[in-house]
Amino acid sequence: MSWREHNGHAHGAGAAGPDPNTRWLAAAGVLILAFMAGEVVAGLLAHSLALLSDAAHMLTDAASIGLALATAKIAARPPRGGYTYGLRRAEILSAQANGITLVLLAAWLAYEAVRRLLAPQPVNGAVMLTVALVGVGVNLAATWLIARASAPGRRRGLNLEGAFAHVLTDLYAFAATAVAAVVVLATGFNRADPIATLVVVALMLRAGGGLIRASGRIFLEAAPAGLDPAAIGAAMAARPHVAEVHDLHIWEITSGMPAASAHVLVAPRQDCHAVRADLEALFAREYGITHLTLQVDHAADTGPAANGDAGAGADAEHAGQGAAAHPPGEEHCEDAHGPRYLPGNATGGFVSKSRATGESRE
């Protein structure tokens, strides 16, 4: 009979997660909204697409901060009903929404910028420069406020990362607008305005694409960036008394909250509890994973002790721990997934097969 052991930590409402300090986020949102209103007026007076695009981007900044505030409140709710991890993954929805809005807004601004390049319009370089310089200061302040919203000593979650990406991109946009304004004032080259807009578009696409990719990896249950499942499986198989590892899965419940599970076979007559504790310590120490579930069984004993020779008493002692015996290299799971990792095999090049179909499963 198989059994599952879990390391002694809670998965409840107090589980680790990147909860932002909402006061700093709210302050950044108010600052951005106030400046955005003035920038719309200035952009219309100066006939500057760059200023209007910055204002539109600042509107999405404010929306992203509002979304971050709302999802932080939702994610803080304790688990209940069918939501056994609570609603922490709501922040990933927020991050994906932020990424998509950045990409859509960039597409619209790119269209308008091309139109202005083909048919340039006169712009007021002095107003552009003044507003752009003030915008740099406002966005520096907002960036600082959002950075303060991160919990001390902890990385930003994707929810907060989305808001931060919006504001940081806007900071670069104002810098580009200021350069364009100087060019207009010095040379009268009005096409500098839409060119600056295209620079903003490139920055928005980069930030938005990054958010979409990162949130998509979490939705698709991919391993966290920077963690190689094959290397982790090989490291597990190399630990003392581990005979085989298979069905290894590594994913993120939400950003900054990695989890893993695996089926581990322990060498005959060895303490499976000690092996499990050693693997838990390995995951926590080397990979920062504490949400770990291990199914631990004994591998079949084909040695002398299996025939009643010396050592049978130790085997009997550990047999009482409830771990079933399975021959290494044979199918143990109804529908096993991924490679098997054996001691001395650094690549995990053994592919499990479905018991039902016999087909290889990559």
CA dihedral 274, 280, 281, 283 (to 10 degrees): 150
Most confident of the following: 14-18, 109-113, 263-267, 340-344: 263-267
Helix and strand counts by DSSP (H, E) for the chain: 9, 7
- How far apart are alpha carbons 273 and 211 in whole angstroms? 41
Amino acid in the structure at residue 238? A
Closest residue by Cα to residue 294 from 266, 264, 322: 264
Span 262-272, mean pLDDT? 92
Confidence of residue 114 (pLDDT cuts 50, 70, 90): very high
3-state DSSP helix/strand/coil % of the chain, to nearest 5: 55, 15, 30
Higher pLDDT, 268 or 203: 268
User: In this predicted structure, what is the pLDDT of residue 152?
Assistant: 56
Contacts with 216 (C-beta within 8 Å, 6 or more apart), sequence order: 96
pLDDT of 207 above 50: yes
Contacts of 190 (CB under 8 A, 6+ apart): 120, 121, 122, 123, 184
- pLDDT reading at 187 higher than 50: yes
What is the pLDDT, as a whole number, of residue 349?
Answer: 53
Residue, of 43 and 357, whose pLDDT is higher: 43
* pLDDT, position 296: 93
